[in-house]
Amino acid sequence: MGGIAKVMARAIARQPWAKIVGIVDVREEALAQGQELLGLPDSGLYRDLDAALGTAAADVAIINTPSEWHYRQCVSCIDAGLDVLVAKPITNDFADAVRLVERAERAGRSLSVGQQVRYNRHYRAVRRLLAGGDLGTPESVTFLNSKPRHRALNLTTLSQPALYEMSCHHFDTLMALFPDHVPETIVCDGFRPSWSVYAGPCMVNALIRCSAGLHVLYHGGFSSQSDHYELRVEGTKGVLRCRGIHMSIDDMEYEFASRGQKLRPLAVDAGLGPVDPWQTFYGAWRDYLAGGPEPSFSGRNNLKVFALLSAAIDSIDSGRPAAVAASERYATAFRYAGEWHGGKAGGERAAPPLTAMRPT
């Protein structure tokens, strides 16, 4: 029941189809805050996950803990017969992520990952522009997003704080924008500025080469001296530039230029009202739980995001380019239709149903 769990709990408490029956945390103050926030009785407060699984009348577990605990906690919930929504990244080890997906499929449970950022308004706006064809065929992408988080909090000792905590969202949004381009290789450098409070590489620079001639220049992290967000897409017909404070703040400035022309303001998000990405996420998740289309954030679709993240770590560790889709290690992530996560312009696709998955 940390910060993101409170945000998610408030959002799901507004859903007419859901009822929160219990919360688990080892901290007394977190339980007290959660009880006040959600109006839970004392019987809905747990300090141990196994105790909650043994007594709470639950259908679904939402796990928001450090990623090194995700595997064990997801296994416990799946084995107890619950569907699971786990925070990103799905785990901190790709092989464990595959094992979790396979375990959920064998048990007939759904496994989902909390990747809601792709539903932000400005990503919806950019997807709409790309689908309209004004840029032509995209070939070059610059994605820059760093912020001055000068308190490390739960990321103090994490080995890859930028990749695990921020890049997993960035990579998912790239997949939403360019679903027909498969990541082939990544060259990644992780570093730590002298002023940083993090132990691990909290800033990341990378070059990602994708199929069909798409190249991505990527930067992300937590130790910039001020906020920095820019998304630039160059296609065969022109260029779009989107600038703002952060990926999760939808107050963006958009500029467009046809080939050889100057950038000029363009209301790319005209007609798209403000939206709480968690509400959109929960709507798609509810449909999935009820036997509907498999969303981009299902456990097995999210393996593509985690494969790219893991390949980035491979590149940092080796100092060389790392294969992604062509790597034997990550082949499982790309066995479905050879797409980042299928569909056009970030839409969802109906993947093969999970084995014995039941409606909820």
Domain range enclosing 139: 118-265
Q: Is residue 321 part of a domain?
A: no
Please give the pLDDT value at position 348.
44
Residue by residue, what is the 3-state secondary structure of the chain? CCHHHHHHHHHHHCCCCCCCCCEECCCHHHHHHHHHHHCCCHHHEECCHHHHHHHCCCCEEEECCCHHHHHHHHHHHHHCCCEEEECCCCCCCHHHHHHHHHHHHHHCCCEEECCCHHHCHHHHHHHHHHHHCCCCCEEEEEEEEEEECCCCHHHCCCCCHHHHHHHHHHHHHHHHHCCCCCEEEEEEEEECCCCCCCCCCCEEEEEEEEHHHCEEEEEEECEEEEEEEEEEEEECCEEEEEEECCCCCCCCEEEEEECCCCCEECCCCCCCCCCCHHHHHHHHHHHHHCCCCCCCCEHHHHHHHHHHHHHHHHHHHHCCCEECCCCCCCHHHHCCCCCCCCCCCCCCCCCCCCCCCCCC
Could you tell me if 124 and 261 lie in one domain? Answer: yes
Please give the pLDDT value at position 347.
41
Could you tell me if 209 and 258 lie in one domain? Answer: yes
Q: Is residue 307 part of a domain?
A: no
- Among 77, 98, 113, the domain-final residue is 113
**CATH number, domain containing residue 169:** 3.30.360.10
Please give the pLDDT value at position 336.
55
Residues of the chain with pLDDT under 50: 337-360
**CATH number, domain containing residue 9:** 3.40.50.720
Please give the pLDDT value at position 358.
32
The count of domains in the chain is 2
Could you tell me if 97 and 8 lie in one domain? Answer: yes
Q: Is residue 339 part of a domain?
A: no
Distance (Å, whole) CA 352 – CA 348: 13
- Among 217, 250, 265, the domain-final residue is 265
Q: Is residue 276 part of a domain?
A: no
pLDDT digits (tens, 9 = 90+) for 255-304: 999 998 999 999 999 999 888 899 899 999 999 999 999 999 999 999 99
Is residue 156 within 8 Å of residue 200, measured between CB atoms? no
Could you tell me if 85 and 133 lie in one domain? Answer: no
Could you tell me if 126 and 257 lie in one domain? Answer: yes
Could you tell me if 202 and 227 lie in one domain? Answer: yes
Please give the pLDDT value at position 151.
81
Is residue 274 within 8 Å of residue 267, measured between CB atoms? no
- Among 265, 284, 317, the domain-final residue is 265
Instruction: Write down the pTM of the prediction.
Output: 0.90
Q: Is residue 301 part of a domain?
A: no
Could you tell me if 94 and 178 lie in one domain? Answer: no
Residues 6+ away with beta carbon under 8 Å from 286 = 15, 17, 18
Could you tell me if 103 and 180 lie in one domain? Answer: no
| Amino acid present at 315 | S
Could you tell me if 122 and 261 lie in one domain? Answer: yes
Could you tell me if 109 and 58 lie in one domain? Answer: yes
Please give the pLDDT value at position 344.
29
